[in-house]
Amino acid sequence: MLRVAIYIRVSTDKQVKDGDSMRDQLATGQKYIDSHENMILVDTYIDDGISGQKLKRDDFQRLIDDVRAGRIDLIIFTRLDRWFRNLRHYLNTQDILDKHGVSWTAIEQPYFDTSTPHGRAFVNNSMIWAELEAQNDSDRILGVFDDKVDNGEVLSGSTPLGYKIVNKHLVPDDDAPTAVAIFQYYRKTGNLSMTLRYMESEFGLVRSAASLKNMLTNTKYIGEFRDNKNYCPAIIDRDLFFDVQRLLKINIKSGKKHDYIFSGLVVCDDCDHIMSGCQQRAGGRVRADGTRIVYKYSVYRCRQGVNLHRCPNRKLVFETTLEKMLLERIRPELENYIAEYEVANLPALRTDAKRRSVEGKMQKLKDLYLNDLITMDEFKLDREKLLMQLEKINAEDSRPVKDLSYLKNFLKMDFESVYDSLSIPERRELWRSIVKEIRVDHDKNIHIIFL
């Protein structure tokens, strides 16, 4: 008696509608076994919703395990494309079957015969065409997706928080202010765990850290997707969005024993690694009972130098020293930085203002079309004119320009007089709002880099 396994695979709903459902494949397989007196069914293996180009299929792997265990003599399926659509995967699997003396048959394609050289050559050629067909299908799908993106159309029914789908396009909905609040809260705290708790307590939204991070890095919030810079209306300010991206790289972790003001900001100028915060102990005076008072100080060190000896920077930088230095130097250095930047980028600043004006007009034009206030022909004509203006502006000066208004507003604050009353998280938020890095070398030279 031949021990027979039935293998069934359905990858799309379309195949079900076209008469290639799991039920149809199973019935065909059972009928084939019943028509042969020397066959007995061992088990049925079903993979639902999986492409034939993928090798990692749950029941397929279970089938191969049973082949290796010597439980199967023959595998049957309806057609060759149910078995594989990738020639390399087929050949590798066929090698396993040959080692264990297992044959297979495509019931609806009886001319496939793996027991003869000619039959195997025919199968190999058929697999090449099956793989080509699958790849062509993938290319066609990708082409359709690219066209949808170019025209600002959605690719699926899922939407980011704050958006809904109207006529195949993303438009802001009533949750848009919620999304803005989440971005603003993360910029304020720089902490994913705190932001997750905020989302749940304020808006009843329960998310994982990975889901929140995906949200905070989604460029659709600034109106961009893939190569389309005007994919949808933006609901997050670009400065806010990119500030959040910066903070995500130095995200503050919860549950630490000690809180550090400059966490993630202090960088070793010798090896470019972030210097980690730690506690330095120092003995003080002796009490009357003979015990010595031990003081703890927050310091920053380069682990590459202190722990791993891969960097010449093995100095400890006291947090109080950094605070004192910043409070003394921040105002004059910031004023000098703004003045030098504006003088060096004056032509680019003028160009950037023109660019923002044209981009604003393009967004308004898109809104008019989406609201059926202008026709497609009018939209294309006016958009082409605006694109020509934008190309001309970009040709004048392509240098990116920073918006320094937040730095100027910072200088208007009397932060020196209230600094001592701020908590550690508030001090951290203050410095993170204007400072990108505080670089320290092995001679303890300190260089401030502003945002």
Express each pLDDT in 316-328 by its tens digit.
999 999 999 999 9
Confidence of residue 12 (pLDDT cuts 50, 70, 90): low
Least trusted range by pLDDT, from 184-188, 238-242, 262-266, 356-360: 356-360
Among 2.40.160.20, 3.30.160.250, 3.40.50.1390, 3.40.228.10, what is the CATH number of 2-145? 3.40.50.1390
**Residues 74, 88: Cα–Cα separation, whole Å:** 21
User: pTM for the whole thing?
Assistant: 0.45
Q: For the sheet with 292-301, list strands across it.
A: 276-286, 292-301, 317-318
Q: Spelled out in words, what is the top-level CATH class assigned to the domain 163-249?
A: alpha beta
Pair type for strands 266-268 and 435-440: parallel
Q: What is the mean pLDDT of residues 354-366?
A: 81
Catalytic residue among 11, 126, 263, 298: 11
Q: Residue 147 CB: number of other CB atoms within 10 A?
A: 10
Q: What is the mean pLDDT of residues 83-112?
A: 78
Instruction: Inform me whether the pLDDT recorded for 131 exceeds 60.
Output: no
Confidence of residue 16 (pLDDT cuts 50, 70, 90): very low
Give pLDDT tens digits for 279-331: 888 766 777 777 777 778 889 999 888 888 889 998 899 999 999 999 999 89
**Residues 252, 209: Cα–Cα separation, whole Å:** 13
Q: Residue 235 CB: number of other CB atoms within 10 A?
A: 23
The burial class, CB within 10 Å (0-12 / 13-18 / 19+), for 263 is: buried
Active site residue 11: yes
Contact 11/21 with Cβ under 8 angstroms? no
User: Per mean pLDDT, which of 34-48, 254-268, 360-374, 375-389 is the most reliable?
Assistant: 34-48
**Residues 48, 46: Cα–Cα separation, whole Å:** 6
Domain ranges of the chain: 2-145, 163-249
Give pLDDT tens digits for 19-57: 457 788 888 999 999 999 899 999 998 887 655 445 556
Give pLDDT tens digits for 158-196: 889 999 999 888 999 999 999 999 999 998 888 888 899
